[in-house]
Amino acid sequence: MDLFRFSKDVFGQKMLVGVNWDFIWVPIFLAGLLILAHIILRVFVKHE
Amino acid sequence: MANKDEHELSSDTESVRHKFIDRIFHWTAGVLIIILLLSAFLPILGIKFDWLPWHWVSGVLLLFVLTFHIVRALFFQNFLNMIPKTDDIRELLFLSVKSSDPQKYNAAQKFYHLITAASVLVLAITGAFMLVKIDTPLWNRNPAILSDDQWGIIYVLHGLSSLVLIFLVIVHTYFTLIPEHRQFLISMIKDSGPKWARKKKND
Protein backbone atom coordinates (compact mmCIF):
# COMPACT_ATOMS: atom_id res chain seq x y z
CA MET A 1 0.00 0.00 0.00
CA ASP A 2 1.39 3.41 -0.96
CA LEU A 3 1.81 5.98 1.81
CA PHE A 4 0.98 8.85 -0.56
CA ARG A 5 -1.59 9.57 -3.27
CA PHE A 6 -0.46 10.70 -6.71
CA SER A 7 -2.26 12.19 -9.68
CA LYS A 8 -1.19 13.47 -13.11
CA ASP A 9 -0.76 17.14 -14.00
CA VAL A 10 -1.89 18.69 -17.34
CA PHE A 11 1.34 17.42 -18.93
CA GLY A 12 0.65 13.86 -17.74
CA GLN A 13 3.45 13.96 -15.18
CA LYS A 14 3.16 12.34 -11.76
CA MET A 15 2.02 14.81 -9.09
CA LEU A 16 1.93 14.35 -5.31
CA VAL A 17 -1.58 15.09 -3.99
CA GLY A 18 -1.48 13.95 -0.35
CA VAL A 19 -1.50 11.12 2.16
CA ASN A 20 -3.22 7.84 1.33
CA TRP A 21 -6.41 8.00 3.41
CA ASP A 22 -6.45 4.22 3.84
CA PHE A 23 -4.07 5.01 6.72
CA ILE A 24 -6.85 6.79 8.63
CA TRP A 25 -7.33 3.60 10.68
CA VAL A 26 -3.69 3.54 11.85
CA PRO A 27 -4.00 6.36 14.48
CA ILE A 28 -7.36 4.95 15.62
CA PHE A 29 -5.82 1.48 16.01
CA LEU A 30 -2.72 2.85 17.82
CA ALA A 31 -4.86 4.93 20.19
CA GLY A 32 -6.98 1.85 20.94
CA LEU A 33 -3.81 -0.15 21.61
CA LEU A 34 -2.46 2.50 24.01
CA ILE A 35 -5.79 2.67 25.85
CA LEU A 36 -5.92 -1.12 26.12
CA ALA A 37 -2.34 -1.21 27.45
CA HIS A 38 -3.22 1.45 30.02
CA ILE A 39 -6.34 -0.41 31.15
CA ILE A 40 -4.32 -3.63 31.58
CA LEU A 41 -1.60 -1.70 33.47
CA ARG A 42 -4.22 -0.15 35.78
CA VAL A 43 -5.70 -3.57 36.59
CA PHE A 44 -2.18 -4.98 37.18
CA VAL A 45 -1.16 -2.07 39.47
CA LYS A 46 -4.48 -2.30 41.36
CA HIS A 47 -3.91 -5.98 42.12
CA GLU A 48 -0.26 -5.43 43.13
CA MET B 1 12.30 2.68 40.81
CA ALA B 2 10.62 5.92 41.72
CA ASN B 3 8.65 6.35 44.87
CA LYS B 4 5.00 5.88 43.84
CA ASP B 5 3.99 9.07 45.69
CA GLU B 6 6.25 11.17 43.46
CA HIS B 7 3.98 10.57 40.50
CA GLU B 8 0.70 10.91 42.32
CA LEU B 9 -1.66 13.81 42.00
CA SER B 10 -1.32 16.37 44.75
CA SER B 11 -4.38 16.86 46.88
CA ASP B 12 -3.47 20.55 47.33
CA THR B 13 -5.98 22.84 45.73
CA GLU B 14 -5.75 26.42 44.62
CA SER B 15 -8.59 28.74 43.82
CA VAL B 16 -7.85 28.74 40.09
CA ARG B 17 -5.68 26.18 38.24
CA HIS B 18 -6.70 27.50 34.82
CA LYS B 19 -7.97 31.06 34.51
CA PHE B 20 -11.37 31.63 32.87
CA ILE B 21 -9.79 32.97 29.67
CA ASP B 22 -7.57 29.88 29.37
CA ARG B 23 -10.53 27.57 29.92
CA ILE B 24 -12.46 29.41 27.20
CA PHE B 25 -9.42 28.98 24.90
CA HIS B 26 -9.20 25.26 25.67
CA TRP B 27 -12.85 24.48 24.94
CA THR B 28 -13.04 26.79 21.90
CA ALA B 29 -9.94 25.19 20.38
CA GLY B 30 -11.32 21.73 21.25
CA VAL B 31 -14.67 22.35 19.55
CA LEU B 32 -12.97 23.86 16.48
CA ILE B 33 -10.57 20.91 16.21
CA ILE B 34 -13.48 18.44 16.43
CA ILE B 35 -15.33 20.37 13.66
CA LEU B 36 -12.15 20.40 11.55
CA LEU B 37 -11.56 16.66 11.98
CA LEU B 38 -15.20 15.75 11.27
CA SER B 39 -15.46 18.03 8.23
CA ALA B 40 -12.20 16.58 6.89
CA PHE B 41 -12.72 12.89 7.53
CA LEU B 42 -16.49 12.22 7.37
CA PRO B 43 -16.56 12.79 3.57
CA ILE B 44 -13.52 10.48 3.22
CA LEU B 45 -15.41 7.83 5.21
CA GLY B 46 -18.37 8.13 2.81
CA ILE B 47 -20.60 10.67 4.61
CA LYS B 48 -20.96 13.29 1.89
CA PHE B 49 -21.89 16.92 2.62
CA ASP B 50 -20.63 20.41 1.75
CA TRP B 51 -17.65 20.12 4.07
CA LEU B 52 -15.48 22.97 2.75
CA PRO B 53 -17.27 25.97 4.37
CA TRP B 54 -17.25 24.17 7.73
CA HIS B 55 -13.55 23.40 7.33
CA TRP B 56 -12.17 26.74 6.20
CA VAL B 57 -14.30 28.86 8.57
CA SER B 58 -13.30 26.68 11.56
CA GLY B 59 -9.70 26.80 10.35
CA VAL B 60 -9.65 30.60 10.21
CA LEU B 61 -11.23 30.81 13.68
CA LEU B 62 -8.65 28.34 15.01
CA LEU B 63 -5.84 30.48 13.57
CA PHE B 64 -7.14 33.48 15.57
CA VAL B 65 -7.58 31.39 18.74
CA LEU B 66 -4.09 29.86 18.43
CA THR B 67 -2.49 33.27 17.87
CA PHE B 68 -4.19 34.49 21.06
CA HIS B 69 -2.94 31.45 23.00
CA ILE B 70 0.64 31.75 21.73
CA VAL B 71 0.82 35.48 22.58
CA ARG B 72 -0.69 34.85 26.01
CA ALA B 73 1.62 31.89 26.74
CA LEU B 74 4.76 33.76 25.64
CA PHE B 75 4.12 37.14 27.24
CA PHE B 76 1.54 36.72 30.01
CA GLN B 77 2.14 33.21 31.39
CA ASN B 78 5.12 31.18 32.53
CA PHE B 79 5.45 29.01 29.43
CA LEU B 80 8.47 27.25 31.01
CA ASN B 81 5.88 25.39 33.15
CA MET B 82 4.95 23.48 30.00
CA ILE B 83 8.44 22.73 28.63
CA PRO B 84 9.66 19.16 29.35
CA LYS B 85 12.90 18.95 31.34
CA THR B 86 15.30 16.15 32.32
CA ASP B 87 13.12 15.17 35.27
CA ASP B 88 10.14 14.79 32.95
CA ILE B 89 12.05 12.25 30.84
CA ARG B 90 13.00 10.44 34.08
CA GLU B 91 9.36 10.47 35.20
CA LEU B 92 8.22 8.98 31.87
CA LEU B 93 10.81 6.21 32.30
CA PHE B 94 9.54 5.53 35.86
CA LEU B 95 12.86 6.72 37.31
CA SER B 96 13.15 8.82 40.45
CA VAL B 97 12.97 12.56 39.76
CA LYS B 98 15.92 14.63 41.00
CA SER B 99 14.39 18.05 41.56
CA SER B 100 12.49 18.71 44.77
CA ASP B 101 10.34 21.39 43.13
CA PRO B 102 6.66 20.58 42.62
CA GLN B 103 5.40 20.90 39.05
CA LYS B 104 2.12 22.33 37.82
CA TYR B 105 2.21 19.86 34.91
CA ASN B 106 3.54 16.29 35.01
CA ALA B 107 5.67 14.67 32.30
CA ALA B 108 2.76 13.12 30.40
CA GLN B 109 0.93 16.46 30.28
CA LYS B 110 4.04 18.32 29.08
CA PHE B 111 4.91 15.82 26.35
CA TYR B 112 1.28 15.58 25.25
CA HIS B 113 1.11 19.37 24.94
CA LEU B 114 4.42 19.47 23.03
CA ILE B 115 3.32 16.89 20.44
CA THR B 116 -0.15 18.46 20.12
CA ALA B 117 1.34 21.95 19.73
CA ALA B 118 3.70 20.69 17.00
CA SER B 119 0.99 18.88 15.03
CA VAL B 120 -1.56 21.72 15.38
CA LEU B 121 1.06 24.27 14.32
CA VAL B 122 1.92 22.25 11.20
CA LEU B 123 -1.81 21.93 10.45
CA ALA B 124 -2.39 25.66 11.02
CA ILE B 125 0.54 26.78 8.85
CA THR B 126 -0.19 24.36 5.97
CA GLY B 127 -3.92 25.09 6.34
CA ALA B 128 -3.23 28.83 6.09
CA PHE B 129 -1.42 28.17 2.78
CA MET B 130 -4.32 26.06 1.54
CA LEU B 131 -6.77 28.90 2.26
CA VAL B 132 -5.39 30.75 -0.77
CA LYS B 133 -6.56 27.89 -3.01
CA ILE B 134 -10.24 28.57 -2.36
CA ASP B 135 -12.59 31.43 -3.19
CA THR B 136 -14.30 32.87 -0.12
CA PRO B 137 -16.33 36.03 0.55
CA LEU B 138 -13.11 37.46 2.07
CA TRP B 139 -10.55 36.73 -0.67
CA ASN B 140 -10.12 35.27 -4.15
CA ARG B 141 -8.13 32.14 -4.84
CA ASN B 142 -4.55 32.36 -6.07
CA PRO B 143 -3.07 28.84 -6.36
CA ALA B 144 -0.10 30.15 -8.34
CA ILE B 145 1.81 31.15 -5.22
CA LEU B 146 3.31 27.62 -5.05
CA SER B 147 4.28 24.99 -7.64
CA ASP B 148 2.46 21.64 -7.90
CA ASP B 149 5.34 19.90 -6.09
CA GLN B 150 5.23 22.44 -3.27
CA TRP B 151 1.46 22.05 -2.95
CA GLY B 152 2.01 18.28 -2.77
CA ILE B 153 4.34 18.75 0.22
CA ILE B 154 1.79 21.06 1.89
CA TYR B 155 -0.97 18.44 1.42
CA VAL B 156 1.22 15.63 2.78
CA LEU B 157 2.24 17.62 5.87
CA HIS B 158 -1.40 18.62 6.47
CA GLY B 159 -2.59 15.02 6.06
CA LEU B 160 0.10 13.41 8.23
CA SER B 161 -0.42 15.95 11.02
CA SER B 162 -4.17 15.36 10.90
CA LEU B 163 -3.58 11.62 11.38
CA VAL B 164 -1.37 12.39 14.40
CA LEU B 165 -4.11 14.67 15.73
CA ILE B 166 -6.74 11.91 15.49
CA PHE B 167 -4.51 9.77 17.75
CA LEU B 168 -3.98 12.67 20.17
CA VAL B 169 -7.68 13.57 20.43
CA ILE B 170 -8.69 9.96 21.20
CA VAL B 171 -5.93 9.56 23.81
CA HIS B 172 -6.70 12.97 25.37
CA THR B 173 -10.39 12.10 25.68
CA TYR B 174 -9.62 8.74 27.33
CA PHE B 175 -7.13 10.15 29.86
CA THR B 176 -9.49 13.03 30.66
CA LEU B 177 -12.30 10.66 31.57
CA ILE B 178 -10.46 8.19 33.82
CA PRO B 179 -11.28 8.64 37.54
CA GLU B 180 -7.66 9.48 38.57
CA HIS B 181 -7.80 12.59 36.39
CA ARG B 182 -11.25 13.78 37.49
CA GLN B 183 -9.76 16.79 39.32
CA PHE B 184 -7.92 17.91 36.17
CA LEU B 185 -11.16 17.70 34.17
CA ILE B 186 -13.01 19.72 36.82
CA SER B 187 -10.18 22.29 36.86
CA MET B 188 -10.79 22.87 33.15
CA ILE B 189 -14.46 23.61 33.89
CA LYS B 190 -14.52 25.33 37.29
CA ASP B 191 -12.37 27.76 39.28
CA SER B 192 -10.60 25.06 41.27
CA GLY B 193 -8.20 22.20 40.84
CA PRO B 194 -5.01 20.54 42.03
CA LYS B 195 -2.16 23.01 42.37
CA TRP B 196 0.49 20.49 41.38
CA ALA B 197 0.37 17.57 38.98
CA ARG B 198 3.72 16.33 40.36
CA LYS B 199 4.16 16.76 44.07
CA LYS B 200 7.21 18.05 45.87
CA LYS B 201 9.71 15.25 46.44
CA ASN B 202 9.40 13.67 49.91
CA ASP B 203 6.06 15.40 50.43
B157-174 pLDDT, tens digit per residue, is 999 999 999 999 999 999
B4-9+17-95+102-187 CATH, one of 1.10.1740.10, 3.30.70.1230, 1.20.950.20, 3.40.50.2020: 1.20.950.20
Amino acid letter, B86: T
- Tell me which residues of chain B, numbers 37 to 96, contact chain A at a CB-CB cutoff of 8 Å: 41, 44-45
pLDDT on residue B12:
53
Band (pLDDT 50/70/90 cuts) for residue B7 is: very low
pLDDT on residue B203:
45
B-chain residue closest to A26, CA distance:
B163
- Judge whether B33 and B165 are in contact, CB under 8 Å: yes
pLDDT on residue B85:
86
Domain-by-domain residue ranges, chain B?
A: 4-9+17-95+102-187
pLDDT on residue B89:
86
A1-48 pLDDT, tens digit per residue, is 789 999 998 889 999 999 999 999 999 999 999 999 999 998 888 776
A7, β-bridge pairs: A15
Cα of B118 vs its chain's centroid, Å:
9
User: Closest Cα partner for B110 from B83, B142, B141, B136?
Assistant: B83
Q: Is the pTM of this model over 0.90?
A: no
ipTM of the complex model: 0.91
pLDDT mean over B133-161: 92
User: CA-CA-CA-CA torsion for B42, B31, B140, A11, nearest 10 degrees?
Assistant: -40
Give the A-side interface with B, CB within 8 Å: 4, 9, 15-19, 21, 23-24, 26-28, 30-32, 34-35, 38, 42
- DSSP string for residues in A1-48: --SEEEEE-TTS-EEEEEE-GGGGHHHHHHHHHHHHHHHHHHHHHHH-
